[in-house]
Amino acid sequence: MVDREVFDRRLARLEELLSDLRGLAVVPRQEFLRNRGLQAQAERWLHLAAECALDLANHLIADRGWRTPTTYREAFQILKEQGVLSEKLATAMEGWAGLRNVLVHLYLGVDHERIWQTLVNDLGVLEQFAAALSRAASAG
């Protein structure tokens, strides 16, 4: 059974980060692209949101005894295989794993236009993911 305290703390943190990120998503594009402080906030909060999603995925996978992922992207494929995520949502979450890798390893070349686009267009994916994982943990 999923350790609900551990799981719920990560889920609550993801929801908190989503709220913070929504606050950045309303900043006009040009202002965001000029403001290094906002860019740094977005980078860090997006990184933490991706880490929360990965923690939640790996926690559920380990709890259920499913095969161990060898990459971050594979964690979302396993959740798809097990019926937790749709194909579309799993693919979108693989993109979040890629974003996490960019923010952690390729930080010198972060495209802030792409970060702004993520804020404006892609936060709903994390909401869908959180809802799917919450349902799966409750069913388990």
For 47-92, write each residue's pLDDT tens digit: 999 999 999 999 999 999 999 999 999 999 999 999 999 999 999 9
Locate the domains of the chain by residue range: 4-139
Distances (CA, A) of 24 to 101, 121, 128: 21, 12, 19
What pTM was estimated for this model as a whole? 0.93
What share of the chain in percent tops pLDDT 90?
A: 89
CATH superfamily of 4-139: bsu32300-like (1.20.120.580)
Give the separation between CA 75 and CA 61, rounded to whole angstroms.
Answer: 8
**HSE, side-chain direction, 13 A CA sphere, residue 55:** 16
